[in-house]
Amino acid sequence: MRYGYIFTRLAEMVPVLLIVVVATFFLAHAVPGGPFEKDKRMPAEVKKRLEEYYGLDKPLSAQLVTYVGNLCKGDLGPSLKYPGWSVNEVIGSRIPVSIQLGLSALLIAVLIGIPVGVLAASRPNTWLDWVPMGFTLLGICVPSFVLGPILALVFALGLGWFPPCGWGSPIHFVLPALTLGIVTAAPLARLTRGKVIEAGNQDFVRTARAKGLPERRVWFVHALRNGILPVVTYLGPAAAGLVSGSFVVESLFDVPGLGRLFVSSIVNRDFTLILGTTLVYALALLILNLVADLAKAALDPRIARGGTR
Amino acid sequence: MSGAGSSLVPTETGCQRFRKDPAAFWAGWFLVAVGVACLLSPWIAPYDYQKQDLALGAVGPGAGHWLGTDTLGRDVLSRLLQGGAVSLGVGLVATVVALLVGVLYGVVAGQSGGLVERAMMRTVDILSTLPLTLIVILCMFVFGQNIWMIFLAVGGVSWLTMSRIICTETVALKNRQFVEVSVALGQSKFGVFKKHYLPNLNGIIAIYATLTVPGVMMLEAFVSFLGLGVQAPMTSWGLMIKDGADIMEECPWLLIAPSVVFALTLLSLNFVGDGLRDAFDPRSSKK
């Protein structure tokens, strides 16, 4: 049963990805400007030769068919702005960076956000609630492009604990991962608190307490498990966003990740790279949403019994 | 534990309960006041928001300029008022779309289940995957450089995660006994939606709606930063925070002033959200 469900969900990804490719393809080509028109003036003849070489002179439908054909073989085509590099190579060099950074940020967010939310929910309308929730509000109000420079100012330039930018050793991704993690932890904590408070008012929590379970177990096992559904739903797209890179944080800390690659590919009108990075994001989103759905079914059997078959 | 839900028949309406919640009530008035001030900014702002005074440059808060001036000598207070009109507008559009489209879409998907739900959720997947930046550039090309584009973009994305969350919650609710009983007793679909889904969903709706607003204000700042949204000399709170962050060591007031206004607005929004949830949820515990 479960395997059948996973299989159908995986099979559904094919048409979804195809629609995303086709739509992004036409979007990218509909936008004015081309990869060879941006910076320096290029002789018309050279431009024509380049377009011929990359097949950009053919009709759009023919280009799309070629692209999808190559895609089926796992070939994302040549990059138009990084001569001599294939999109597979360009993206492949960035993916490990973004995944490392994204997963550490995700870990930080979950480890801070969920416990803080449960803690606040267990003592609603007391200082234990107000103080952590005040901090989460701060986390929501302070965007990454403010938090990042502040962290860099304090921990890199002030205390000198971490390098302010760059990439290479694990110590480099402390500050960017913290920035992304804190920014993601704040909404997580608020979502957790709201749902756990609701769960805490229900009979089964009273029963759990009446059985003599310790408070910690009542909140973190009984109430949390019933309140965590929207948190998991939220985590699906949020995790996809994290592992596919953040333009702002990567620019701030000079991290060679996917987020900057994506934005620069759009600015450069590097058609194949736009499609490649979009596909990576789409794949991450679909897979992580599937993981989130499976986690929800495992946490709440009522969902498995009900609709999502 | 004892709550307003002690009686099954509410004796007062949600609006009456909302008015009795002082934090939510005053936060609501604060939001209204900020909104009105921003809307009236062309008439009540102390200076013209785009008037430069290069000789003056950036000065801190003082008598002439209450909140100081930026590096081009423009009055920060006047710019805050003008930027607020953009940012609050973006937040309002996002909230309305997330509430109307996101909630309805999520409930319908979760309630239908099966193929319909899956088709609807895959559509959300596709929409959240398409590169927003490209779409905004394309819209600018087709409709011209226009501030309304930013509202369109924000409205287009703000409902996606909301619908996903509501869908999951609806699926979990659908199998609860009170919903099954209600359906078995012949309650219409809309009746079930109004009597059972909405009251049980309003907590999560209120929380996620208040989370959507800062998200889209930052999205607007990002899109504007790429040169696709609000154009100089116009500004928005997100852009002012962004610009302020770049020179926070030299001119901290350029970061502090917009950040404080932004934070106060979000804080009020949270109070209003909590108040509305409590007012319309007879079950939720109140002190």
B1: pLDDT strictly greater than 50 = no
Specify the pLDDT at position A112.
93
Q: pLDDT digits over A10-69, tens only?
A: 888 899 999 999 999 988 888 877 777 765 667 777 777 877 788 777 888 888 888 888
Q: pLDDT digits over A115-143, tens only?
A: 999 999 888 888 888 888 888 888 887 88
Which comes out higher in pLDDT, residue B229 or A99?
A99
Quick one: average pLDDT of B268-275? Answer: 85
- Give the pLDDT band of residue B3 (cuts 50, 70, 90): very low
Q: pLDDT digits over B201-258, tens only?
A: 888 888 888 888 888 888 888 888 777 778 778 888 888 888 888 887 788 888 888 8
Quick one: average pLDDT of B112-138? Answer: 87
DSSP-assigned states of every residue in chain B: ---GGGSSS-SS-HHHHHHT-HHHHHHHHHHHHHHHHHHTHHHH-SS-TT---TTT----S-SSSTT-B-TT--BHHHHHHHHHHHHHHHHHHHHHHIIIIIHHHHHHHHHH-HHHHHHHHHHHHHHHHS-HHHHHHHHHHHH-S-THHHHHHHHHHHTHHHHHHHHHHHHHHHTSHHHHHHHHTT--HHHHIIIIIHHHHHHHHHHHHHHHHHHHHHHHHHHHHTTSSSPTT---HHHHHHHHHHTTTT-THHHHHHHHHHHHHHHHHHHHHHHHHHHH-TTS---
Specify the pLDDT at position B120.
93
A299: pLDDT strictly greater than 80 = yes
Predicted TM-score (pTM) of the model is 0.83
Total Cβ atoms within 10 A of residue B137? 25
| ipTM given for this complex | 0.81
- Give the pLDDT band of residue A305 (cuts 50, 70, 90): low
Which chain A residues are within 8 Å of B114, Cβ to Cβ? 307, 309
A207: pLDDT strictly greater than 90 = no
Specify the pLDDT at position A282.
92
Quick one: average pLDDT of A283-306? Answer: 83
Least trusted range by pLDDT, from A36-50, A169-183, A284-298? A36-50
A307: pLDDT strictly greater than 50 = no
Cis, bond preceding A15 (omega within 30 deg of 0): no
Quick one: average pLDDT of A238-258? Answer: 87
Neighbouring residues of A250: CB distance < 8 A, sequence distance ≥ 6: A176, A256, A257, A259, A260
- Give the pLDDT band of residue B191 (cuts 50, 70, 90): confident
Cβ separation of B266 and A236 shorter than 8 Å? no
Which chain B residues are within 8 Å of A234, Cβ to Cβ? 161, 165
- Residue in chain A nearest B270 by alpha carbon: A137
Specify the pLDDT at position B5.
42
A185: pLDDT strictly greater than 90 = yes
Which comes out higher in pLDDT, residue B168 or B68?
B168
Q: Does B250 touch chain A (CB under 8 A)?
A: no
Specify the pLDDT at position A235.
92
Q: pLDDT digits over A220-236, tens only?
A: 888 888 888 889 988 99
Q: Does B168 touch chain A (CB under 8 A)?
A: yes
Specify the pLDDT at position A40.
64
What residue type is B81 in one-letter code?
A: L
- Residue in chain A nearest B274 by alpha carbon: A194
**B128: nearest CB among A194, A248, A285:** A285
The residue of B108, B171, B183, B251 whose CB has the most chain A CBs within 10 angstroms, and thus the best one to mutate to test that interface, is: B171
A309: pLDDT strictly greater than 50 = no
Q: Which domains does chain B have, with CATH numbers?
A: 81-266 (1.10.3720.10)
Neighbouring residues of A156: CB distance < 8 A, sequence distance ≥ 6: A162, A163, A164, A175
Specify the pLDDT at position B285.
44
Residues A229, A114 contacting (CB under 8 angstroms) = no
Cβ separation of B172 and A302 shorter than 8 Å? yes
Specify the pLDDT at position B101.
93
Which chain A residues are within 8 Å of B2, Cβ to Cβ? none
Cβ separation of A307 and B226 shorter than 8 Å? no
Which comes out higher in pLDDT, residue B71 or B40?
B40
Which comes out higher in pLDDT, residue B142 or B286?
B142
Q: Does B197 touch chain A (CB under 8 A)?
A: no
Q: Considering chain B, what is the average pLDDT of its residues?
A: 82
- Give the pLDDT band of residue B11 (cuts 50, 70, 90): low
Quick one: average pLDDT of A188-209? Answer: 86
Specify the pLDDT at position A113.
92
Of chain B residues 211-230, which have a CB less than 8 A from chain A?
211, 214, 218, 221-222, 226
Residue contacts between A and B (CB atoms, under 8 Å): 155
Q: pLDDT digits over B82-114, tens only?
A: 988 888 988 888 889 988 999 999 999 998 888
Q: Considering chain A, what is the average pLDDT of its residues?
A: 85
- Residue in chain A nearest B207 by alpha carbon: A191
Quick one: average pLDDT of A68-91? Answer: 85
